[in-house]
């Protein structure tokens, strides 16, 4: 039986898609927590469903996490559901979820992947999709030492400095003669994050690359599509055979070909990027980056594993941080009083200096804004809905209120109660990077500009994709604060 740490936010119209997301998304770093467990005598109550289909039809509404929460009221915080022939346990309370992730970890260590995820993630070669065991321990150590841990992040500080200043410059370039100028944050931020991901993973930014296997030169914009956007959409593709593994012998050719094509293209581009850097290394030019680190460890890794791990670092760096930062800016632009509070705090702590990472520990309200955004809009396709909307734990849970973390009722550690970064041995490896980039970007954007949501944007909160992208990029009006004297 699988355990589904109840959570799910994307609003996908078709019932079967919804249900598949539960199965597929469950097993990645960008996913719900689904774990394999033997059936115990004291199994949790099962939600009654139909023969063969189980509870598939009951999850047909656009917001299935609401159904989960409704069932929790009747069946308690832990129950099981059946999607076709796949059973899952749904956990609806932070306490139980924590116990599953941390204390009972040994029983939930395997990753059960959908067909699409297996293909896209090179058959469990990623840190986030492999089963817990020797390989997981090894590659998690590699990604932490090579790119995401505190020391590696220190080495990459100059890349983060450059990316954040580039985002600010790109927004300044949009300022026109009007008092306020209309901007979208997503495009400039996403392309800068992608560049950062390339620099950290490969040692260099790359504007274009000839990909022999595809017989064409790929430009940066197309690279983002092939490496990040297409795979994230492909893994939520519906293959009904995921619910009925005993029918796997029935071909589903169009779906298989679509997924294969996405996987082949992203592997071909990653391989070409790596080969280009191998030539650099061959010339004796070493750079401190993830690829050079992995190649020095290559005795333990196959070439395919190196390709998969480099792709993982690129895709994970490029997406979730963008998602949480865009949602944070949406909330800030929507709440002028809270924006002012943030600005005052930044002024007090940073004075005439541009905000740096050293300022971050002193910017409590900014920190709280980041964690409050993770609570209300967790970027992973988990909704943590019942946990993060529990009125017993959170005052007015539906409201974005960073100050909740600063009142006497909460302690510093409560910020992690949202469990947005998971927990236990599979806890997110990139939380430090996400926090450093997101908090400083938010800080710089507030330092330089006053933000106002475009009229009608308040209700524009639909999401899509494996991570909870805002369906429509946030549109806001910005006005420079005239802080050009900042040093
Ligand atoms: C706000 C941003 C982020 C959020 C909310 C987030 C959330 C998560 C969650 C919930 C998990 C656990 C999934 C599970 O148990 O299956 C996870 C795992 C992981 N995350 Fe993140 N993540 C973020 C950013 C990043 C970044 C920037 C990177 C890397 C560049 C990253 C790399 C990973 C990896 C490698 C794992 C797998 C860890 C393991 O299985 O041991 N994450 N993340």
Question: Which of 115, 132, 149 is a domain's end point?
Answer: 132
* CB neighbourhood size of 303 (10 A): 10
Is residue 112, in this structure, part of any structural domain at all? yes
Mean pLDDT by 10 residues, the chain (487 residues): 36 29 33 39 80 82 74 84 80 74 63 82 90 94 96 96 97 92 95 97 96 96 95 80 79 88 97 96 94 85 95 95 95 97 97 95 96 87 66 85 84 71 88 97 97 84 64 90 76
Distance CA 344, CA 338 (A): 10
Residue 181 pairs in a beta bridge with 478
Tell me if 437 CB under 6 Å of ligand 1: no
Is the whole model's pTM more than 0.75, yes or no? yes
Place of tokens 């030539």: 279
- Please choose, from the candidates 408, 334, 414, the residue with its C-alpha nearest in 3D space to the C-alpha of residue 367: 414
Place of tokens 């391989």: 271
Same domain flag for 207 and 225: yes
Same domain flag for 462 and 343: yes
Tell me if 127 CB under 6 Å of ligand 1: yes
Position in ligand 1 atom list of the atom nearest CA 319: 27
**Under 8 Å between Cβ of 447 and 352:** no
Token pair of 372, please?
A: 């409050």
For residue 121, the CA-to-ligand 1 centroid distance in Å is 15
* Segment holding 329, helix H or strand E: helix 303-334
Contacts of 335 (CB under 8 A, 6+ apart): 400
Is residue 229, in this structure, part of any structural domain at all? yes
- Please choose, from the candidates 475, 393, 480, the residue with its C-alpha nearest in 3D space to the C-alpha of residue 185: 475
Is residue 486, in this structure, part of any structural domain at all? no
Tell me if 420 CB under 6 Å of ligand 1: yes
Tell me if 183 CB under 6 Å of ligand 1: no
What local confidence, expressed as pLDDT, does residue 298 receive?
62
Question: Which of 81, 115, 132 is a domain's end point?
Answer: 132
Same domain flag for 65 and 156: no
Same domain flag for 452 and 340: yes
- Please choose, from the candidates 117, 99, 93, 32, the residue with its C-alpha nearest in 3D space to the C-alpha of residue 379: 32
Distance CA 357, CA 451 (A): 22
What local confidence, expressed as pLDDT, does residue 15 receive?
27
Closest CA to ligand 1's atom 7? 421
For residue 455, the CA-to-ligand 1 centroid distance in Å is 34
Same domain flag for 189 and 58: no
Is residue 414, in this structure, part of any structural domain at all? yes
Distance CA 306, CA 349 (A): 43
Same domain flag for 216 and 86: no
* Residue among 6, 23, 29 whose CB has most ligand 1 atoms within 8 A, to mutate: 29
Distance CA 398, CA 404 (A): 12
What local confidence, expressed as pLDDT, does residue 16 receive?
28
Distance CA 238, CA 361 (A): 43
Same domain flag for 90 and 218: no
Closest CA to ligand 1's atom 32? 430
Is residue 487, in this structure, part of any structural domain at all? no
Tell me if 93 CB under 6 Å of ligand 1: no
What local confidence, expressed as pLDDT, does residue 6 receive?
35
**Under 8 Å between Cβ of 453 and 460:** no
Position in ligand 1 atom list of the atom nearest CA 425: 41
For residue 29, the CA-to-ligand 1 centroid distance in Å is 5
Same domain flag for 346 and 263: yes
Is residue 252, in this structure, part of any structural domain at all? yes
Residue 183 is classified by DSSP as: E
Same domain flag for 165 and 74: no
Distance CA 439, CA 445 (A): 10
What local confidence, expressed as pLDDT, does residue 62 receive?
60
CATH of the domain at 316: 1.10.630.10
Contacts of 150 (CB under 8 A, 6+ apart): 432
Question: Which of 89, 104, 132 is a domain's end point?
Answer: 132
Is residue 264, in this structure, part of any structural domain at all? yes
Tell me if 148 CB under 6 Å of ligand 1: yes
For residue 337, the CA-to-ligand 1 centroid distance in Å is 32
Distance CA 470, CA 331 (A): 12
Position in ligand 1 atom list of the atom nearest CA 147: 30
Contacts of 224 (CB under 8 A, 6+ apart): 190, 191, 194, 318
Is residue 459, in this structure, part of any structural domain at all? yes
Same domain flag for 166 and 90: no
Distance CA 129, CA 146 (A): 19
Position in ligand 1 atom list of the atom nearest CA 197: 30
Closest CA to ligand 1's atom 12? 422
Q: Is position 428 annotated in a ligand binding site? A: yes
Q: What angle (nearest 5°) sits at the alpha carbon of residue 343, between those of residues 338 and 345?
A: 95
Total domains present in the chain? 2
For residue 51, the CA-to-ligand 1 centroid distance in Å is 36
Distance CA 148, CA 38 (A): 34
What local confidence, expressed as pLDDT, does residue 4 receive?
42
Same domain flag for 295 and 386: yes
Same domain flag for 115 and 233: no
User: Containing domain of residue 60, as a range?
Assistant: 2-132
Tell me if 434 CB under 6 Å of ligand 1: yes
What local confidence, expressed as pLDDT, does residue 473 receive?
87
SS3 sequence, 122-157? CCCCCCCCCCCCHHHHHHHHHHHHHHHCHHHHHHCH
Burial of 89 (0-12, 13-18, 19+ CB in 10 A): buried
What local confidence, expressed as pLDDT, does residue 415 receive?
66
């Amino acid at each position: 039986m699988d355990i589904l740490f109840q959570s799910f936010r994307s609003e996908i119209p078709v019932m079967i898609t919804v249900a598949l997301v539960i199965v597929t998304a469950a097993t990645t770093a960008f996913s719900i927590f689904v774990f394999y467990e033997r059936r115990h005598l004291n199994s949790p109550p099962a939600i009654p469903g139909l023969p063969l289909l189980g509870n598939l039809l009951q999850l047909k509404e656009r917001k299935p996490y609401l159904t989960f929460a409704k069932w929790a009221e009747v069946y308690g915080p832990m129950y099981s559901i059946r999607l076709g022939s796949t059973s899952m346990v749904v956990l609806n309370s932070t306490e139980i979820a924590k116990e599953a992730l941390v204390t009972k970890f040994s029983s939930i260590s395997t990753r059960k992947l959908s067909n699409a995820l297996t293909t896209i993630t090179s058959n469990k070669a990623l840190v986030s999709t492999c089963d817990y065991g020797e390989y997981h321990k090894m590659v998690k150590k590699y990604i932490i030492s090579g790119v995401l841990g505190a020391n590696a992040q220190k080495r990459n500080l100059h890349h983060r400095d450059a990316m954040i200043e580039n985002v600010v410059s790109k927004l300044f370039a949009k300022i026109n003669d009007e008092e306020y100028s209309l901007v979208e944050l997503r495009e400039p931020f996403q392309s800068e994050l992608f560049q950062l991901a390339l620099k950290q993973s490969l040692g260099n930014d790359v504007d274009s690359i000839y990909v022999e296997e595809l017989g064409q030169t790929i430009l940066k914009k197309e690279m983002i599509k092939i490496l990040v956007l297409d795979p994230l959409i492909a893994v939520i593709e519906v293959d009904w055979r995921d619910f009925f593994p005993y029918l796997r012998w029935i071909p589903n050719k169009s779906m298989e070909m679509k997924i294969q094509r996405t996987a082949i293209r992203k592997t071909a581009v990653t391989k070409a990027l790596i080969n280009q850097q191998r030539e650099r290394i061959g010339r004796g030019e070493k750079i401190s980056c993830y690829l050079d680190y992995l190649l020095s460890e290559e005795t333990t890794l196959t070439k395919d594993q190196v390709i998969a791990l480099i792709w993982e670092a690129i895709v994970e760096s490029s997406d979730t941080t963008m998602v949480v930062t865009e949602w944070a800016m949406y909330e800030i632009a929507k709440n002028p009083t809270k924006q002012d509070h943030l600005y005052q705090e930044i002024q007090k702590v940073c004075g005439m200096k541009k905000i740096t990472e050293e300022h971050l520990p002193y910017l409590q309200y900014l920190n709280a804004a980041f964690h409050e955004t993770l609570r209300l809009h967790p970027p992973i396709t988990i909704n943590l809905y019942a946990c993060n909307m529990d009125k017993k734990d959170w005052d007015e849970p539906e409201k974005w209120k960073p100050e909740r973390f600063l009142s006497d009722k909460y302690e510093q550690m409560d910020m992690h109660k949202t469990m947005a970064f998971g927990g236990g041995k599979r806890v997110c490896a990139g939380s430090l990077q996400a926090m450093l980039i997101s908090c400083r970007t938010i800080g710089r954007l507030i330092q330089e500009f006053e933000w106002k949501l475009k009229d009608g944007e308040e209700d524009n909160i639909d999401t899509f994709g494996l991570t909870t992208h805002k369906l429509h990029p946030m549109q806001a009006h910005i006005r420079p604060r005239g802080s050009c004297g900042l040093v």
